[in-house]
């Protein structure tokens, strides 16, 4: 009997074999992801059905698509794969792209700049998801190509669809919570506020454009809360940390905590910074939260697992990846998306309790 191969889709085969479409795809394209026995069984059953695997070349000719999306990361790949926020974002995208038989080509900005258009053309991507770019990385960027689908995430680029979180309101909310304790001195440990690779204090005329940087949005969220609580803060109390890593954050925290007027509150723009700040404080003999309140941003798993645990703003990192992938594939309307955040109160800055009247 002649089998009608054209009528069989990846989903049809997955349904018949009662496995996921990703498992069928892996059997043909990524054998290292399956046991030898499982792969052999799947291929044998597929052969009996007359299904010989997803053919990327044929699909490209038929649809005009390659089934590849270029994911352009703002930093090097090794950092992105270990950073707790970036890797959860990549996880969310991978979940959607695998089901829809799409592959991700991971590129860092440095890689793209080195090889520019030749790399883009040879990779034959259908478009790009641009993740976490700073404003200066978008100037004359080689991935801004005509007739390419471009989605920006954790950044803003005119003419593209963006997926972001409530950075300003999230920062405002957590700052308002922390300010209920009426701290006398406040320091902001900022992330990527300036175009520099140094840990340093900030001058306002050096800041990135507010509309282009999520860090600046968080900074102005803090400013709004401070103004509402009639608290002023000078640029001498704002630090720039050029990269979201423990060593640089620890350095900035120690510098802040050795000021003549030691701060009683550290507003940290990431949980990684907050964790480093807590450790620096403890190493200096300070108690958290008795001597110092610390708040973070992101809601990474580590923030809940250390002691004292970190009061933070939880962002939907995995969901952000899913949404970006769905917008790219046309499974969602091509319009800007802003995901909600949530205040998570923990030990490093607990809820304020009014003292009992005597």
Give 221-247 pLDDT, tens digit per residue: 999 999 999 999 998 999 999 989 999
Q: How confident is the model at residue 25 (pLDDT cuts 50, 70, 90)?
A: confident
Whether the CB-CB separation of 281 and 193 falls below 8 Å is answered with: no
Domain ranges of the chain: 7-54, 65-165+319-329+331-339, 167-316
Determine if the pTM surpasses 0.85: no
Q: How confident is the model at residue 214 (pLDDT cuts 50, 70, 90)?
A: confident
What is the average pLDDT across 175-194? Answer: 95
Q: How far apart are CA 283 and CA 89, in angstroms?
A: 32
Element (H, E) at 37: helix 36-49
Is 65-165+319-329+331-339 CATH 3.40.50.2300?
Answer: yes
Q: Over the stretch 147-160, which tens digit does the pLDDT of each residue have?
A: 678 899 998 777 88
Contact yes or no for 178/293 (Cβ under 8 A): yes
Average the pLDDT over each of 57-66, 216-225, 333-342 and give the range with the smallest value.
57-66
Could you tell me the pLDDT band of residue 12, with boundaries at 50, 70 and 90? confident
pLDDT (0 to 100) of residue 136: 55
pLDDT of residue 1: 39
Under the banding of pLDDT at 50, 70 and 90, the label for residue 122 is very low
Which position has the token pair 């909600």?
A: 340
More confident residue, 62 or 267: 267
Task: Note the pLDDT of residue 118.
Answer: 47
Helix axes 246-257, 271-283, angle to 10 degrees: 50
Cα separation, 88 vs 105, whole angstroms? 17
Quick check: 60 pLDDT over 50? yes
Give per-residue pLDDT as tens, 160-175.
Answer: 899 999 999 999 999 9
- CA proximity to 339, closest of 162, 84, 150, 99: 162
Number of CB atoms found within 10 A of residue 95's CB: 14
Residue 265 has pLDDT above 50, yes or no: yes
Q: What is the mean pLDDT of residues 32-54?
A: 83
Domain 167-316 annotated CATH 3.40.640.10: no
Q: Give me the chain's average pLDDT, please.
A: 85
Alpha helices in 100-166 (DSSP H): 109-123
Banded pLDDT at 2 (limits 50, 70, 90)? very low
**Rounded-to-integer distance, Cα 336 and Cα 353, Å:** 39
pLDDT at 117: 47
At 292-306, the pLDDT tens digits run: 999 999 999 999 999
Distance separating alpha carbons of residues 24 and 13, to the nearest angstrom:
8
Q: Which region holds residue 265: left if phi is over 0, alpha if psi is between -120 and 50, else beta?
A: beta
Residue 219: which residues within 8 A CB-CB, separation 6 or more? 171, 188, 190, 193, 207, 238, 269
- Going by pLDDT thresholds of 50, 70 and 90, the confidence category of residue 135 is low
CATH, domain range 7-54: 1.10.260.40
Average pLDDT (45-67) is: 67
- Which pair of structure tokens corresponds to residue 319? 């969901």
Specify the 3-state DSSP secondary structure of 241.
strand
Confidence of residue 47 (pLDDT cuts 50, 70, 90): confident
| pLDDT band of 258, cuts 50, 70, 90 | very high
Would the CATH topology of 65-165+319-329+331-339 be identical to that of 167-316?
Answer: yes
Answer whether 334's CB lies under 8 Å from 161's CB. Answer: yes
């Amino acid at each position: 009997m002649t089998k009608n191969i054209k009528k069989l889709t990846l989903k049809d085969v997955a349904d018949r074999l009662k496995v996921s479409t990703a498992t069928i795809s892996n059997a043909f394209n990524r054998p290292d992801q399956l046991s030898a026995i499982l792969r052999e069984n799947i291929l044998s059953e597929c052969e009996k059905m007359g299904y010989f695997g997803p053919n990327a070349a044929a699909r490209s000719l038929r649809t005009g698509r390659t089934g590849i999306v270029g994911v352009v990361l703002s930093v090097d790949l090794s950092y992105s794969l270990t950073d707790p926020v970036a890797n959860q974002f990549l996880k969310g995208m991978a979940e959607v792209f695998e089901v829809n038989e799409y592959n991700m080509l991971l590129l860092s900005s440095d890689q793209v700049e080195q090889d520019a258009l030749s790399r883009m053309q040879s990779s034959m991507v259908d478009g790009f998801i641009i993740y976490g770019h700073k404003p200066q990385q978008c100037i004359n960027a080689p991935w801004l190509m005509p007739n390419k689908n471009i989605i920006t995430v954790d950044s803003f680029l005119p003419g593209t669809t963006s997926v972001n979180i409530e950075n300003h309101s999230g920062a405002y909310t957590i700052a308002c919570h922390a300010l209920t304790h009426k701290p006398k001195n406040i320091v902001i440990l900022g992330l990527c506020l300036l175009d520099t690779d140094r840990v340093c204090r900030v001058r306002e005329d050096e800041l990135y454009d507010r509309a282009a940087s999520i860090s600046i949005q968080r900074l102005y969220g803090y400013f709004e809360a401070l103004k509402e609580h009639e608290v002023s803060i000078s640029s001498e109390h704002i630090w720039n940390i050029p990269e979201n890593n423990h060593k640089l954050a620890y350095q900035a925290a120690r510098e802040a905590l050795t000021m003549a007027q030691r701060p009683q509150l550290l507003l940290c723009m990431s949980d990684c910074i907050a964790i480093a700040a807590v450790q620096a404080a403890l190493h200096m003999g300070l108690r958290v939260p008795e001597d110092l309140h610390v708040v973070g941003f992101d809601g990474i798993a580590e923030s809940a697992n250390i002691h004292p645990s970190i009061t933070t703003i939880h962002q939907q990192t995995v969901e952000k990846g899913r949404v970006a992938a769905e917008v790219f594939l046309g499974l969602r309307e091509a319009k800007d998306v802003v995901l909600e955040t949530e205040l998570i109160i923990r030990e490093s800055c607990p809820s304020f309790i009014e003292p009992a009247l005597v």
